[in-house]
Structure 1
Amino acid sequence: MTQTATALSTDAKTAIVEALNQSVAETAVATMLAQNFHWNVTGMGFGPLHDLFQKMYEDHFIAQDDLAERIKALDAHAEGTLAGMLARSKVKEHDGHATDKEMIKAMQIAQETLAATLVGAGAIAADHGDTLTEDLCIARGQTHEKFAWFLRAHLS
């Protein structure tokens, strides 16, 4: 049965919010990763990679807000500290000292990690009948899978 945010049980909200905060954390770290690579990419692929990394960080910045606002709609606290996000995230920072191919591979792994996290968050939401969160997670997961595909295509 489909539930609105206000109709969800406390246990359901707790599980969903935990999954969403994980998603926000990983999206935030991936945002900075993409911006770092955007600033530091060099070589023959500079132009298209500079543009792709910018497209990613701009997308991810908006996604952070969408995910955090869903947490707030569930009447919960959205993690808002960098330290908290870094501690929680499975996506890891990178110092930006890398070849273009290393940047692409790191960003590909980040996108695949995000897609998997969002699939998991969507499944938790679905288990509790929260179709609005599930839909958000599906849409975001599709975006990250598409970015991962773009990045894999650069490495082929």
Structure 2
Amino acid sequence: MTQPAIALSPDAQKEIADALNQSVAETVVTTMLAQNFHWNVKGMAFGELHRLFQEIYEDHFQGQDDLAERIRAIDAHAEGMLAGMLDRSKVKEHDGHQSDREMIEILMKAEETIAATLGGLGELAASHGDTLTEDLAIERGRAHEKFAWMLRAHLG
């Protein structure tokens, strides 16, 4: 086994990896949610929402990879099974039959959920001196808060 860049106790490694896997799961489910809404949105704001939903899922696809790679960097296992992610995630799937307004509300709540999860990850990482995970959690949390704000602005 290789030594990770930061020396974490086994308990700290497990806690941080679990919180990172939670963040990955919620990001993966939200990525698919945004892509589903991108495919199925309709209405007067179609063009704008179609583009915004695409911007979200493209950002999140990279974000989930960054989070999973951090799990590997601390020498833990990145969970990659969709069924497990769906079970773990506080963000739930939707079928894409919602109105454009409902899609915005659902995705906004998903973004807020992930931002909160990442905030907790950052605090946990800081408590164990893992500044690199803390920094990643802050960076990703900011992205999710920005998307939540952009979606909220559509609701007036």
Cα distance between partner residues in 2 of 1:44 and 1:122: 39
Inter-partner Cα distance in structure 2 for 1:80 and 1:16: 17
Residue 66 of structure 1 and its aligned partner are, at CA, apart by: 0.2
1:148, 1:6 → 2: CA distance?
Answer: 32
Q: 1:5, 1:113 → 2: CA distance?
A: 29
Q: Structure 1 residue runs of 4+, over 4 Å off?
A: none
Note the residue ranges of structure 2 that are not aligned, 5 or more in a row: none
- State the Cα RMSD in Å: 0.8
Q: What letter corresponds to residue 24 of structure 1 in structure 2?
A: V
Residue aligned with 1:124, SS: helix
Would the aligned equivalents of 1:19 and 1:121 in 2 still touch at CA under 8 Å? Answer: yes
Find the aligned partners of 1:6 and 1:85 in 2 and give their Cα distance.
26
Q: Is 2:118–2:138's contact at 8 Å kept on the other side of the alignment?
A: yes
The answer as to whether partners of 1:5 and 1:130 remain within 8 angstroms in 2 is: no
Aligned sequence identity (%): 72
Q: How many residues align?
A: 153
Structure 1 counterpart SS, 2:91: coil
1:133 maps to what in 2?
Answer: 133
Which one-letter code corresponds to 2:102 in the other structure? E
Shift of 1:94: 0.3
Deviation at 1:79, TM superposition (A): 0.7
How far does residue 7 in structure 1 lie from its aligned partner after superposition? 1.0
Q: Are 1:111 and 2:114 matched, yes or no?
A: no
Which residues in structure 2 correspond to 1:4-83 (within 5 Å)?
A: 5-83=5-83
Q: How many angstroms does 1:5 deviate by?
A: 3.9
For residues 87 and 75 of structure 1, the distance between their equivalents in structure 2, rounded to whole angstroms, comes to 24
Which AA in structure 2 matches 1:66?
A: D
